[in-house]
Amino acid sequence: MCLGVPAKIKKIEGDFAIADFDGITRKISIQLVPDIKVNDFCLVHAGFAIEKISKDYAQEVKGYLKEIFKGNTDE
């Protein structure tokens, strides 16, 4: 548990927002991330945004690897 999917906030309507999951749009609740803004990215679980994430979500994974591989090239 638990499925969490990244989405971009397209429009805010009070406690809710329209989120875009790479072509799928759905109304979600933003009560758990009240300071989120339009064009921000968030992680969505069961119709609720649970955390704000950076736009470079995928880039960050590359970042971890760079560090690990750098530290291990001499071994």
Partner 1 sequence: MRENEIITLSHGAGGKIARELINDYIKKFFNCPELNKLEDGAIIKTNSKKAVLTTDSFVIYPIFFSGGDIGKLSICGTVNDLSAMGAKPLYLTCGFILEEGFLLSDFKKILQSMKKTAKEADIKIVAGDTKVVPKSKGDGIYINTTGYGELLDEKMCISAYNVKPGDSVIITGNIGDHEIAILKEREGLKFDAKIKSDCAPLNQLIKELITAKIKIKAMRDPTRGGVAGVLNEIAQSSRVDILIDENSLPVNKVVLSACSIMGFEPLYLANEGKMIIILESEDAQRALKVIRKNKYGRNARIIGKVIKGKGLVKLKTKTGGIRILLQPQGEQLPRIC
Partner 2 sequence: MNEKKSFEKLLKILCKESEKLEKTVNLMEVCGTHTMAISRFGIRSRLPKKIKLISGPGCPVCVTPITEVDKTIEISKQKNVIITTFGDMLKVPGTKSSLMNEKAKGRDIRVVYSPSDALLIAKENPDKKVVFIGIGFETTAPLIAYTMKEAKKQKIKNFFVLSFFKVIIPPMEALLNDKDLKLNGFICPGHVSAITGAKIYEPLVEKYKIPCVVIGFEAIDILTGILMLLKQMLLKKPAVEIQYKRVVKYEGNKYAQDVLKEVFTESDSVWRGIGLIPGSGLKLNENYSEFDAEKIFDIDVSFSKEPVGCKCGDVLKGIKIPTECPFFGKKCTPEKPVGACMVSSEGTCAAYYKYEVNK
Chain contacts with partner 1 (rule: CB under 8 A): 1-3, 5, 21-27, 44-46
User: Taking the complex as a whole, how short is the minimal distance between the CB of residue 27 and partner 2, in angstroms?
Assistant: 8
User: Taking the complex as a whole, how short is the minimal distance between the CB of residue 13 and partner 1, in angstroms?
Assistant: 15
Please identify which residue in 9, 51, 70, 74 interacts with partner 2, judged by CB under 8 A: 51
User: Taking the complex as a whole, how short is the minimal distance between the CB of residue 10 and partner 2, in angstroms?
Assistant: 17
Which candidate, 54, 53, 47, places its Cα nearest to that of 16? Answer: 47
On whether the CB atoms of residues 47 and 28 are closer than 8 A, the answer is yes
Residue 8 or 52 having the CB closest to partner 1? 8
On whether the CB atoms of residues 23 and 58 are closer than 8 A, the answer is no
CA angle 22, 10, 24 (to 5 degrees): 30
